[in-house]
Structure 1
Amino acid sequence: MIERHKLHLLSFSLALLLMIVSSITQAQDIVSIQNPWVRATNPGQNISAGYMTMTSTQDVTLIRVKSDITESVEIHSMKMENNVMKMRMLDSLALSLGKPYKLEPGGYHLMLFDLKKSLSDAQTVDFEMTFKNNKGAEFTQKVKAIVKGSENNHHQLQQSDHEHHHNH
Structure 2
Amino acid sequence: MDRLILQKAASYCAYQERTQDEVKQRLKKWDVWGEEADEIIAELISMNYLSEERFAKTYAGGKFRVKNWGRMKIRQELHRRGLSEYSIQKGMNEIQDEAYISGLKELLGKKKMLLAKTETDPFRLKQKLARFALGKGYESELVWKEIENL
Name whichever structure is richer in helix by fraction.
Answer: 2
With a CA cutoff of 8 Å and minimum separation of 6, indicate the structure with the bigger relative contact order.
Answer: 1
Is TM-score (shorter-chain normalized) higher than 0.5? no
Name whichever structure is richer in strand by fraction.
Answer: 1
| TM-score using structure 1 length | 0.25
| TM-score using structure 2 length | 0.27
